[in-house]
Amino acid sequence: MQHRGYLGIDLGTQGLSVIFTDESLNILGTGEGSYDMVPGLAAECYEQRPADWEAALQAAMADLRRQLASDGIEMQVLAVGLVGQMHGEVLCDTDGEVVTPVRLWCDARNEDEGHELTERLGVKCPKRMTATRWLWTLRNRPDVAARVAHITTPSGWLAWRLTGSWLLGVGDASGMFPIDQTTGDYDATRLTSFDALTAGCGRSLASMLPTVRSVGEDGGTLNAHGAALLGLSAGIPVAPAEGDQPAALAGSLIAEPGMVAMSFGTSVVANAVGDRPFQGVSKAIDHFCAPDGRPINMVWIRNGTTAMNTIVELVAGSHGSFAEVMPQVVAAEDDCGGLTALPFMDDEPGVGVSHGGTALVVGLNPDTATPGNTAKAMLLATMFNLRVGCDELDSQGYPRTEIVLSGGLVKTPALGQVLADVFNTPVTIPDGAAEGTAYGGALMAKYRQERIAGSTASWPEHLAAHASGTPQRFTPRPEAVAVLAKSYQRHRRLLDLLPQLEAALRG
């Protein structure tokens, strides 16, 4: 049976996923493909090869078709939505060929350039921003830089392969270079300042960046190569390629101030739509745009669920499978039996940690050293690190009325209660939350198709029209909130001691 619907593609850090929905955006099937980092790199260096992404896309589409076929479903795709990990530096020559493996958002080689651009441009430019990576490349790999004609992101590169156009959604573009809220394009004044800094390279950054498009605008159509990759017909509309964070907002149906999208996985983020510009520069808060160009304040935590997962995997061998240990995490005491943890298996810019390797648990004794307490302490530490940044948003009076949770953590949905208690804010887990970014891609695909058909609905109106299903909701428990408030203050004191701890560990 043929079904009309939308294809969402999510090019993530650890793998690629696709979903196919019906016209009402009910998910009918999913598919996955995998790839690895480039091996043999130095510590804190993370690269991938775009050819591997393309191969993973083909594998994911084959996986999707197998699932759909088992249900007797044949896809008729009306539009495609494409999402990718933000900030990666994809460098291509005049023919669009990649000239070097892609340095990903988690690559740590250009921290100094991030500080330099933040000071020079007067706006937060984290080290993972594409512009800071390009500044590093100009200075450290001039042979590579000399061959570059186009700079884009992972989703921008895949869009190029699918459509033949160098276009990018405004949200993903804002992770490359700051966006001017007045024009909805790259900030021209700051581009001039960047070019003055790099005058010796002979080319303006603006000439190499992809054209910025807002959600609903033309993102191109599948060309012959794109159609062959996906096994679809040429000419199908493609929504402007977006970053995973703007797409997570879309997948959580967030477009208005007061609602905060939180996603827990390899990294953790809290994205809040701004009702006004953020004042000043904060090491804990980054800024980008929603798919319609509205400003977003993002608290980003690099050390996500990895430390908790590591603890669970360590004990799973003697205490059962991963699935059997997680209920122990849910059932653990609110204060984890007094355990306090630091989850820094990698650097953490938001709280001033420049190097990883200081993950630890404090307070272990024969009574408290249970798998549930230990793993939950790591999870709480990650949530507390996220709260550090959110406290700065609170200090400027940004509203927070509801947290919408997506990402890997929702595979254990009861952990939504822990999050509600930590932030003293109601938490909602919507249907499809585990596929939040790919689902966001499908939402953007539908919006593009509807705009082609003549719809004048705004982006917030489009999202509001798709609120459905039976979301899970968690309300803060006053007693747990009080206990966790004390645990949070203990965590803050442990953070204050981190410089001494690092000095002791490094000898």
Is pLDDT larger for residue 196 or for residue 504? 196
Give pLDDT, residue 444.
Answer: 97
Write out pLDDT tens, residues 258-316.
889 898 888 898 988 888 878 889 888 889 999 999 989 989 898 998 899 888 888 87
pLDDT band, residue 434 (cuts 50/70/90)? low
Give pLDDT, residue 169.
Answer: 98
> Among residues 460, 462, 441, which one has the least CA distance to residue 450?
462
* The two structure tokens encoding residue 197: 């800094």
| Interatomic CA distance for residues 417 and 260, integer angstroms | 16
Name, in order, each residue with C-beta under 8 angstroms of 308's C-beta and a sequence gap of 6 or more. Answer: 329, 343, 375, 376, 378, 379, 382
Percent of the chain with pLDDT over 70: 98
Is pLDDT larger for residue 441 or for residue 507? 441
Write out pLDDT tens, residues 67-87.
999 999 999 999 999 999 999
Where in the chain are the domains?
A: 2-246+436-464, 254-429+477-507
Whole-prediction pTM value?
A: 0.81
Give pLDDT, residue 213.
Answer: 98
| Interatomic CA distance for residues 227 and 175, integer angstroms | 28
Whether 2-246+436-464 and 254-429+477-507 share one fold: the answer is yes
Write out pLDDT tens, residues 352-411.
887 777 889 999 999 988 999 999 999 999 999 999 999 999 998 988 999 999 878 888
Give pLDDT, residue 323.
Answer: 79
Give pLDDT, residue 133.
Answer: 96
Give pLDDT, residue 120.
Answer: 96
Query: What's domain 2-246+436-464's superfamily in CATH?
Result: ATPase, nucleotide binding domain (3.30.420.40)
Give pLDDT, residue 407.
Answer: 76
pLDDT band, residue 435 (cuts 50/70/90)? low
Write out pLDDT tens, residues 229-262.
999 999 999 999 999 989 988 888 888 888 898 9
Compute the average pLDDT of residues 126-143.
94
Residue 125 has pLDDT above 70, yes or no: yes
| Per-residue exposure over 269-292, b if at least 16 CB sit within 10 Å of its own CB, e if not | bbbbbbeeebeeebebbbbbbbbb
Residue keyed to tokens 């130095």: 42
Give pLDDT, residue 300.
Answer: 86
Give pLDDT, residue 263.
Answer: 85
> Among residues 154, 209, 437, 210, which one has the least CA distance to residue 445?
437
Write out pLDDT tens, residues 311-358.
888 887 655 577 788 899 999 999 999 999 999 988 887 888 877 778
Query: What's domain 254-429+477-507's superfamily in CATH?
Result: ATPase, nucleotide binding domain (3.30.420.40)
Amino acid occupying residue 120: R
DSSP state of 24: T
